[in-house]
Structure 1
Amino acid sequence: MSGLTGRRVLVTGASGTFGRQLCAAFTAAGARVVGVDRQAGTVDVEGQQGVPVLGCDLTDPTAVPATVAAAVQRLGGLDLLVNNAGVGGPAPAELAPDEVVRQQLEVNLLAAWRTTAAALPALEAARGRVVFVASRMALLPLPLAAAYGVSKRALVAYADALRHEVGTHVGVSVVYPSMVASPIHDSTAEAGLSLRGVSRPEPVEGVVAAILRAATARRAPRDVATTRRGRLELALARHAPALADRFVRRTVATRVAAGDLDAAPLAAGMLRRHRDSTG
């Protein structure tokens, strides 16, 4: 897949922040694109016909195979699947998992798993590729966001296992964005747990460019960082995890000392223990 002209592409989460720009970028590069999101519709593409979006709840095991089959039929095959759909939300590791946790595991992990499984016959026939949009938090977990980190780390583990099974016929890549301004962070911010000062924001265009690199490289890359800083952070997390932990703890301590988490009930336990240990 050295180019995208004429390639048949399926993008999940097509109506979201990444999804809209992915649909536009793939279309501009000459690909034929179909999207999937909770609501059917169209993604507008400047100067070109809009990208059709099929409506599907990707957490519904009975709905996904039929939706993927409809997309494959509409495209006449499938060369690339981009598992982009995802959700976030606050979830302290010390608290029992609730509906917020379940939803993140369902959307971020299981939905991508079942979508990929449904698409694999078409991808194998085309010697295609699948790209998973993970997160740097898959390797650099942050406190109070356990569900997101767990779901993304599990997604990476799934991609690694899949690569061993189908890698002779289907390329498997994982892209690791950092924080991008989007509605996925709204519920976390509303809970007083904003990532401000913890993760360095990056532009959505850089994430889209990284996904396109994964799609068009001569050989499907295993892991793709979205920035130079991202490459450094991924290397640090893999090869010096204790040092990475120290950086996270220092950042959290700075936020605690500044009172950034004082109004967040979900952070109460962590704040109490931090102050007990330093008081």
Structure 2
Amino acid sequence: MTLPFLDRRHDPRGRRVLVTGASGTIGRALGERLARAGAHVVGLDLRPAGDEPFPVLACDVTDDAAVAAAVAEALTLLGGLDVLVNNAGIGGPAPAEYAPGDEVRRQLEINLLGTWRVTAACVDALVAARGRVVMVASRMAVMQLPLAAAYGASKRAMVAYADALRLELGTHVGVSCVYPSAVRSPIHDSTRAAGLSLEGMSVYEPLDGVVGAIERTALAVRPRRDVTTTRKGAVEFFLARHLPALTDRIVARTLSARAAAGAFEGAALAAGVVERNGGRA
């Protein structure tokens, strides 16, 4: 049951929204939905496709000067800012047992520090508008999956950053985190290419449901601190927060079964996991 006073939303018409990762699967769908509802939407993306139904500015979120310039241009186009959606992010193979290399640094730089840079550049405008920040985190921010340590670490750190931001700006700015599971998109391509696909360990969610949850969070009159995107996700979130040892056992058992069944056969980065779990190398 949804309590009406918790589901009240701002009229999207005229709301000024900035979306990062706006040319990707989630960002584009979200920006299109909000723009269709009457919001003024501008996006940031490393490589704008050029055919998005709203303006998207080229921006490398790992570059301080590029972020400052792109955010300034976006705020000029929007005439201020009511909602910032930090959606930009990447994944990739990164087992925890190996020393961090370029792949780990790239994910932390984009997923965590890119979010931090863009948000910091938007703070004054958000405070002036008593606006909203929405972090598109991940279920992996609370329930880590194996062989993807950098992604989980970056998303958990993003949530920690959101917590600090809420404490500092909470008198004027709402800060919410949304926790989707996997959505079918190119973000999984590099992990799949390395033979470390998490098929069978993470259930894909419909894109429309994830975008709907982000939209509701962005427009809610009373911002919720943490938002899950499915009923299953809500259960997983609760268990991961309150019974972490149980979720560890469930994930470890699933990993062992997949390794034993040959799911990671031929994947060099999973060789240790396969050997330790009695699987086929």
TM-score, normalisation: structure 1? 0.95
* Ranges in structure 2 where 5+ consecutive residues have no aligned partner: 1-8
The whole-number CA distance in structure 1 between the counterparts of 2:204 and 2:237 is 16
Of 19, 22, 39, which aligns to 2:27? Answer: 19
The yes-or-no answer on 1:95 pairing with 2:103 is no
Corresponding residue number in structure 2 for 1:245: 248
CA deviation map 1:50-72 (0-9, x unaligned)? 31110111100121111101100
Corresponding residue number in structure 2 for 1:117: 120
* Ranges in structure 1 where 5+ consecutive residues have no aligned partner: 45-49
Deviation of 1:39 after TM superposition, in Å, equals: 2.6
The yes-or-no answer on 1:2 pairing with 2:10 is yes
Deviation of 1:43 after TM superposition, in Å, equals: 4.4
The count of aligned residue pairs is: 271
What residue identity is the alignment partner of 1:181? R
Corresponding residue number in structure 2 for 1:79: 82
The whole-number CA distance in structure 2 between the counterparts of 1:38 and 1:192 is 26
Deviation of 1:105 after TM superposition, in Å, equals: 0.2
Corresponding residue number in structure 2 for 1:190: 193
The whole-number CA distance in structure 1 between the counterparts of 2:258 and 2:11 is 45
The yes-or-no answer on 1:231 pairing with 2:234 is yes
The whole-number CA distance in structure 2 between the counterparts of 1:39 and 1:262 is 34
RMSD (Å) for aligned C-alpha atoms: 1.2
The whole-number CA distance in structure 2 between the counterparts of 1:131 and 1:73 is 21
The whole-number CA distance in structure 2 between the counterparts of 1:42 and 1:267 is 38
Corresponding residue number in structure 1 for 2:151: 148
Deviation of 1:40 after TM superposition, in Å, equals: 4.3
**Does the CA contact (< 8 Å) of 2:260 and 2:277 recur in 1?**
no
Deviation of 1:41 after TM superposition, in Å, equals: 5.4
Instruction: Report the secondary structure of 1:51's partner residue.
Output: coil
TM-score, normalisation: structure 2? 0.94
Deviation of 1:275 after TM superposition, in Å, equals: 2.5
Deviation of 1:194 after TM superposition, in Å, equals: 0.8
The whole-number CA distance in structure 2 between the counterparts of 1:275 and 1:39 is 43
Of 102, 107, 110, which aligns to 1:107? Answer: 110
